[in-house]
Amino acid sequence: MDDLQDRGFSTGTAASLASLFNPRTVAVIGASSVIGKWGQMILSNILAGRFPGKTFPVNSGGGTLCGLSSYKRIQDVTEPIDLAVITAPADALREVVNECCEKGVRGMVVITSGFSEAGEEGRRLEEELVSLSRAAQMIMIGPNTMGILCPHAGLFASGAHSRPRKGTVAFVSQSGNLGTQLIHWADQQGIGISLFVGSGNEAMVTCSDYLEYLESDPHTETIILYMESVKDGHRFIEVSRRVNRSKPVIVLKGGRTEAGKVASASHTGAMHGESAVFGAACKQAGLIEVSAPSELLDLSAAFSSLPLPRGNRVGIVTLGGGWGVVTADQCNEKDLLVPDIPDHIVRTIGSFLPPFWSRRNPIDLVGTKDPQVPLVAVEELLKWDGVDAVISLGIVGRHELVQLLVQSVREVDPGVTSSHLSQLESASREYEKAYVARMADLMAEYRKPVIGVSLARTREGTVRHQQGKPYHPVFYQTPEDAVNVLARMVQYHEYKARS
């Protein structure tokens, strides 16, 4: 930490962030009992999330908040404070930060807005807070952020009350709203999170600092960035290139168009370079640049759950022909190869299917009802050295349609017993569970990804976690999503092979 003032907060930051993201004591300054206020939302989230350390509400009125004694000033707390989450108004921040400095607080997350994103006066105040913090060797995240989530530490210090499962995907977002939305979606889709940081205006801690921390974070394997500006572009490229060799870095850049630039200037106070320059820099560093938030989720699900493909050759197994045609087209357009399958695979799969099946890749299962055929087809492709990945379409998701069929039969056919219909539903459900489990086993055995496309939208989410397994099957809603994910994984593999 002794280089904070001299070097503008860089090399010592990673170690300092480790203590901030794993605190033993947290103070919420500006804590409130008024539902909807930031001080209430964050305090109640920390407590409802069962933070294992100690939490201290700080409110000028004192009293009791959420069953805890509230302190009028941070200095009144007798224990050392690792992290202060500050929701006080902007005009009170000088005094609050000074008090945190006097207390010896190790780090702050400043939720409050009204700084560089609000104009020149706010920028001057922001710079003053940075100077105070640096002089006290205290980290400041933000300002103008929606908070942080540290699932492995049991800390959920955000205004939004999504509390995702522990996982290996880290999100760093200059937009708190967009980041919070992605975290909520990730929770719904079964994507485990190692860390979420709403980096806000990045007055002190920049994206490059977070990357350096995440490079050595044992919980993080995949890094997702939403950026509206880049401070010190040369350092960002240098750091991201190094980190990306071991952990894939996926980037969504806001402000790519004129309308986006104007919007983000008033959002995070961001200054912009040309999008073409940024894109070229990302390509040089091997970063995976995307154009939509949904891609961030799709890719985080795959990179955190699947083995990396070792090439661009794809085997396709489809319950019906049309999907196979569409998927093959998509593969060709994304520079993925769909090779013809050898005779021994044709013979093996053909022994289960009628003579009119496709006999080629894509493997059309012609709507078979035999539950073993999809398993045989996928494994035959995986153990063949002529493909590097398999896309499986329509096997999972049939249970949703079986349920609809059973519902219709119950309504119109009194001759069918309820127990028989329940058995049909149960058999369908158990088959899908067994298929998902088998895909996890096959990926572990052959070290190749199997990317699924669901026949119907399911309630299970994208990632199907399998306890104790190294890989977890994923199922997307469309063939184009599955192909895009695979193409990006191949892109990353090729970068690693070159670097």
**Alpha-carbon gap, residue 381 to 386, rounded angstroms:** 8
**Does residue 488 or residue 284 have the better pLDDT?**
488
pLDDT at 491 over 60: yes
pLDDT computed for residue 268 by the predictor: 46
Stretch 448-471: mean pLDDT, rounded?
A: 92
pLDDT at 290 over 50: yes
Helix (H) or strand (E) holding 195: strand 193-198
Beta carbons within 10 angstroms of residue 378's beta carbon: 25
3-state secondary structure of 120: helix
pLDDT at 257 over 50: no
Poorest-pLDDT segment among 143-157, 270-284, 380-394: 270-284
Helix axis angle, 233-244 to 275-285, nearest 10°:
30
Mean pLDDT for all residues in the chain: 91
pLDDT at 177 over 90: no
- This prediction has a pTM of 0.90
pLDDT at 346 over 50: yes
pLDDT at 1 over 50: no
The domains of the chain, with CATH numbers, are 4-303 (3.40.50.261), 308-498 (3.40.50.261)
* Percentage of the chain modeled with pLDDT above 70: 94
3-state secondary structure of 37: coil
Residues 63-95 have pLDDT tens digits of: 999 999 999 999 999 999 999 999 999 999 999
pLDDT at 369 over 50: yes
* Percentage of the chain modeled with pLDDT above 90: 79
Residues 396-432 have pLDDT tens digits of: 988 888 999 999 999 999 999 999 999 999 999 999 9
Q: pLDDT band for 6, please (50, 70, 90 cuts).
A: very low
Q: How far is CA 235 from the centre of its chain?
A: 24
**Does residue 217 or residue 281 have the better pLDDT?**
217
Cβ atoms of residues 484 and 295 within 8 Å: yes
Question: Positive or negative CA dihedral for 373, 376, 382, 384?
Answer: negative
Q: Report the candidate in 326, 317, 306 with the shortest Cα–Cα distance to residue 363.
A: 317
Residues 10-27 have pLDDT tens digits of: 446 777 899 899 999 999
Report CA-CA distances (Å) from 333 to 55, 147, 338, 361, 484.
Answer: 54, 40, 11, 16, 10
pLDDT at 276 over 90: no
pLDDT at 225 over 80: yes
pLDDT at 2 over 50: no
Q: Report the candidate in 255, 297, 250, 234 with the shortest Cα–Cα distance to residue 492.
A: 250
DSSP secondary structure string, 436-468? HHHHHHHHHHH---EEEE-SS--SS-SB---TT
Sequence-ordered list of residues with C-beta below 8 angstroms from that of 147, at least 6 positions apart, any chain: 42, 85, 109, 111, 157, 158, 159, 176, 198
Stretch 262-275: mean pLDDT, rounded?
A: 49
pLDDT computed for residue 8 by the predictor: 41
